Amino acid sequence: MRKLCGFAFVLTLIVVVLGAWTRLTDAGLGCPDWPGCYGFHYVPATPGEHALAAERFPAAPLEVTKARNEMIHRHAAGTLGLTILLMALCSFKCVYRSYRWPVLILLVLVLVQATLGMLTVTLNLMPFVVMGHLLGGFTILSLLFWLWCRHRAYSGPRPEVGGLAGVFRLALAALILQIALGGWTAANYAAMACTELPVCQGDWLGQWQWSAFHPHGMPAETYQYGVLSQQERATIHAAHRLWAVFTAGILLTLAWRLNGRPGLRGFGRAIGLMVLLQLALGVANVMLHLPLWVAVAHNGGAAVLLLMLTGTGERLGRFREAKWQEAWHCPQREYESGGTISH
């Protein structure tokens, strides 16, 4: 069961990266229908299939490369759904009952994620739905990693973790909000709204537009390539940058605190290095005008940071459980007679 969980985790990571690739290659509407593609279960390949696709969807001309990117993502996501369904069925065996509730939650999340995937297409890339789809993928990824770590044996040191819980929660909340802002930036095509560093298009504070964060966005027939004004996109981009600075500060503080605790030093060093790499990728996206591989790596870096915090949280929870068990277990007391009594 743990091997199946590990396979599902790796597959989810691939699906998340493929989702970023699909979005960044503007292939979100590469297939205008769902779950098929122009009425087929595969990408139309022959001239006859191309003609039939044009007849079925005259307003959405077939672009084979975009359709292929979209269908690869869908097939990978479908395989993941079947894997988690298999895990859910296996969890009803008594030997796997410790997996049952987390896996059932995962199954519900997959069904919600599939619905969001459908709505992404049928609502023509509505930003709120696109961002929700991204967050759903990250949630499934982190939950699978937590489940895999939870059933992994650990025999290392168990240090005191007092004072870490507050910093960890703040770091996790900041990172989740930063990922959401990154999803909102991508969904509204605001990644290149600011092409300067460290400022953003001159007097960006004077041009701040709170309407950029309206949950439904501007009504439109299609949201592909964005429908917000330049000022609104610059506002989204600037918000993502500003919160990135705050998030990096909190994560580096957490990394420094973890580095001083045995059993957690590896997480601290990994988080610190990943934060610096993620900042560098963000700068490269702006300076190099959003090259595809850098943008995909930036999306993957956010996923890796979330996984590092997930692993840290699982380890902290394990240490706290061990401390509670020690607190409730009274050691044997020695008496003058030489015997011992266990309380």
Catalytic residue IDs = 70
Angle between helices 164-187 and 127-150 (to 10 degrees): 140
Q: Alpha-carbon distance 146 to 317, whole Å?
A: 11
Give me the half-sphere count of Cα atoms (radius 13 Å) on the Cβ side of residue 170. 15
Contact 180, 135 (CB under 8 A): yes
Give me the half-sphere count of Cα atoms (radius 13 Å) on the Cβ side of residue 47. 0
What does the DSSP assignment read for 110-146? HHHHHHHHHHHHHTTS-HHHHHHHHHHHHHHHHHHHH
Q: How far is CA 196 from CA 39, 96, 117, 184, 243, in A?
A: 44, 53, 34, 20, 17
Task: For residue 279, give both structure tokens.
Answer: 């900042």
